[in-house]
């Protein structure tokens, strides 16, 4: 099994739609740290699991310096963002989304 891991840092804002009062319901920003992990039993025709630049394109170009509520059709929690990345990056099986020091959400495909 081959594995690749890419760590990206982006800046983005969001507000959460919650069922309880929270300051997170107001628009606010984070310097997010996103770690994307991909795997494959076989390398592609270019000798790669997934091109690092493709991971960067999906994550950084899709999310950096944006209001995530305008990007995603779902409540942009760290958990939901991690799942979206796993579903949209080829061969991705695990993603960690850190929105601040000590606050990390992880999604791993079955």
Q: Which two tokens stand for residue 62?
A: 């899709």
Q: Could you tell me the pLDDT band of residue 110, with boundaries at 50, 70 and 90? A: confident
How does pLDDT run across 28-51, given as a tens digit for each residue? 999 999 999 999 999 999 999 999
CA distance 4 to 52: 8
Query: 6: which 2 tokens?
Result: 């890419």
Q: What is the pTM of this model?
A: 0.95
What values do phi and psi take at 63, rounded to 5? -125, -25
Domain range enclosing 37: 2-108
Question: The domain that contains 74 carries what CATH number?
Answer: 3.30.479.10
Tens of pLDDT along 1-15? 999 999 999 999 999
**Which residues lie closer than 8 Å to 69 by C-beta, 6 or more apart?**
14, 15, 76
Report how far residue 15's alpha carbon sits from residue 77's, in angstroms, rounded to the nearest whole number: 9
Q: In this predicted model, what pLDDT tens digit does every residue of 45-95 receive, in sequence order?
A: 999 999 999 999 999 999 999 999 999 999 999 999 999 999 999 999 999
Number of domains comprising the chain: 1
């Amino acid at each position: 099994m081959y594995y690749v891991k890419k760590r990206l840092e982006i800046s983005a804002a969001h507000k959460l739609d919650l069922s309880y009062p929270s300051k997170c319901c107001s628009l606010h920003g984070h310097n997010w740290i996103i770690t994307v992990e991909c795997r494959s039993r076989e390398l592609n025709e270019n000798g790669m699991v997934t091109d690092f630049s493709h991971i960067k394109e999906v994550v950084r170009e899709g999310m950096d310096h944006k209001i995530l509520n305008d990007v995603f059709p779902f409540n942009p929690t760290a958990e939901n963002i991690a799942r979206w990345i796993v579903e949209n990056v080829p061969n991705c099986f695990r993603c960690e989304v850190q929105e601040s020091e000590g606050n990390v959400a992880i999604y791993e495909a079955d």
